Amino acid sequence: MLKNLTAALIVAGVMTTAAFAQNVDVKSAINDLSNRSGSVRQNAVMILGSSNDRSVVSNIERLAYDSDSGVRTAVCWALGQFKSPTSENVLNSLARDSRPEVRQAAVNALGNYKSVATGETLIRATYDSDVNVRKSAINSLAIVKYELAGPRLSTLLSDSNPDVRAAAAIAMKSMNYSAPSSMVANKLKDPDSRVRTGAAQNLGNSGKDDNISIIVPGLSDLNPSVRANAATSLGDTKSDKAIPYLVKALGDRTDSVGLSAAAALSKVGPSSVPQIVDKLESSETRVQKHCIRALAGMGETNVDLLSEYSKRPELREISIWGLGETKSSKAFPAIFDGFSDNDEKIQLTASEAMGKVGSSVLENLKKEKENPNEIVRKNIAKSLGFMPYEEDVAKFLVELMADDKETVTAEASVSLSKYGESVKPLLLETLKSNDEMQRTGAINALALMGKECAPTLRECLKDKSSKVRAGAALGLGQMGDTVCANDIVQLFENDNDPEVKRACAWTIGKVCKPSDELMKRLVLEKTRAGGKKLPALQKTIEDTIRIFEGK
């Protein structure tokens, strides 16, 4: 039985350096290593293990054979934090400790070492009488990927403990080890679904046609995870013989299985297309979507086919998504057609798809800069924001910020803001532009990039353009820049433009502290707005007054 909670946490592998990282006093901890109390020594080891001070490793190693098992357990954990070459032999020795909790902590720590000696220690630990030690040893073998462990992991698929069998199956998959089919096949009938899942995964590693007949029953398993992994394994064989089984699995009652079947068919390749098309034409929409995913996963090969499907209303959105997955510039016409769709979901899907295709279609998009449809221009700007940063992409977005429609300018500024520091110099240069819309767009982008841009926006409160001043005021309010409070109040009082006043009134509610003087000023301006018949300004001021009254 474990002596205390700390030892239990170490053994369970959930103790982190953060747990002891505060108020670390290395000198005092080293002194406590000689304390007569085992719990004090244990705590000292934990403190040293979290100190990041490699000079204390030798001090920790001296307690490797302490009479207190809790201390030895802590030593294993601490040495695992440092990953010191000198500690490997110590941990290999502690993996033979008389106490199971110490052995488990040791094999957990050995997951940080990749020598042959450690690999052999971990294999030996898989024979341990304690289930938890065996599981930890298997997990560490998977981490270090000790190649010689494969045969032993295969035999562990027959361990009496289901957790051990499951751990072995998962480890074999992570190590890409293919056990003999004869050893794995009967594990598809294991009572534990994790073992069946692992067996299904493992059978696909070999890529042998011979395994197909063994894997296929996994597609009928009651557990969807087993069915999904069986589908994945069939795809790993890349065999045409797997096609009819995978096409049938596209219609599985669980979507995750259908998705796995689609990905598997993509691996098999173009030879599966005719059967996928047949399935698509005879199935419900849910299954048709899986078919589209399978076609899209093959890349440029199926662009023409997907383009045709994008004309069918029930398949339009998923087909446009699929065209993006091909990352082919040939998909441009069909994706671009989605920019003007009446359905906003399809517009967004088309924008994301165009972004995945990337800058190879940039010249095509530039040709549409003057497109008479505002929605199309807006979606061009949106799509650029989904592309990886390139200087030409960013410069085109700056051009789009000169658009005479605010929706386009706003979308371009949002896309630019996604690039963060990469475009900050370009935005600062754009603030010098003679184009009012470009300057406004640059302010919007900077506002979205965070408070570090606040000083620049405060300078823009003095811009000659009322639109730019209003944009700067709104941006400062959006980022909650309290430093601008006095500047905003002054602009609110002195600027005669209603939109600037309205922007300032909104920002005052975000960044200013209520005061009697400011409240009087707000009430006065509200009255003036009413007299000038400026209902939008009047309402914004009323909202700010309510905010102040609630504080």
pLDDT tens digits, residue range 242-265? 999 999 999 999 999 999 999 999
**How far is residue 314 CA from its own chain's centroid?**
30
* pLDDT tens figures, 430-449: 999 999 999 999 999 999 99
Contact 79, 61 (CB under 8 A): yes
The torsion region of residue 470 among left (phi > 0), alpha (psi -120 to 50) and beta comes to alpha
Closest by Cα among 193, 260, 254, 203 to 228: 260
Per-residue confidence (pLDDT) for residue 180, from 0 to 100: 73
b/e map 137-151, b = 16+ CB within 10 Å: bbbbbbbbebeebbe
Structure-token pair, residue 298: 């093959």
Percent of the chain clearing pLDDT 70 (strictly above):
94
Taking CA atoms, 385 is separated from 21, 289, 388, 400, 404, in Å, by: 40, 26, 8, 12, 20
Integer CA distances (angstroms), 427 to 424, 444, 470, in order: 5, 10, 18
pLDDT, tens digit, 9 for 90 and up, residues 109-155:
999 988 899 999 999 999 999 999 999 999 999 999 998 999 999 89
d(CA 303, CA 456): 46
- Structure confidence at residue 18 (pLDDT): 42
pLDDT tens string 39-78: 999 999 999 998 888 999 999 999 999 999 999 999 999 9
Q: CB–CB of 130/104 below 8 Å?
A: yes
* Tokens 């051009």 belong to residue: 399
What is d(CA 535, CA 73) in angstroms, rounded to the nearest whole number? 72
**Identity (one letter) of the amino acid at 419?**
Y
Please say if the pLDDT value at position 291 is more than 60: yes
Average pLDDT, the chain: 91
Q: What integer pLDDT is reported at residue 485 of this predicted model?
A: 94
- What token pair was written down for 449? 């990039």
